[in-house]
Amino acid sequence: MGPTAKAAVAKRLSRIEGQVRGIARMVEEDRYCIDIVTQIAAVRAALRRAEEEVLRDHVAHCVAHAIRSGDAEEQSRKVAELMDVLVRSER
């Protein structure tokens, strides 16, 4: 992962970690269920954005490198890998 993406993802994950701790506190404090569910949805959305950032960086570097290499086997491997992760993320 490139240094810019790495820093951005690390920052995003730190924020998500804080959100999750906040949700745990909400549960401990018996907060209103809908408020808890709303915060859980916000964390899921934040995780999706982090995932997108990592995937974007992967395509920009790893997949692009495979394409530039001209190595058909490497290209096929990277495309298959990308398809597998996209299918898994849709579940």
Tell me the domain boundaries of the chain. 3-89
- Specify the fold of 3-89: Methane Monooxygenase Hydroxylase; Chain G, domain 1 (1.20.58)
pLDDT for 6 equals 94
Query: Model's pTM, two decimal places?
Result: 0.82
pLDDT tens for residues 55-82?
Answer: 999 999 888 888 899 999 999 999 999 8
The full DSSP string for the chain is: --HHHHHHHHHHHHHHHHHHHHHHHHHHTT--HHHHHHHHHHHHHHHHHHHHHHHHHHIIIIIHHHHHH--HHHHHHHHHHHHHHHHHHT-
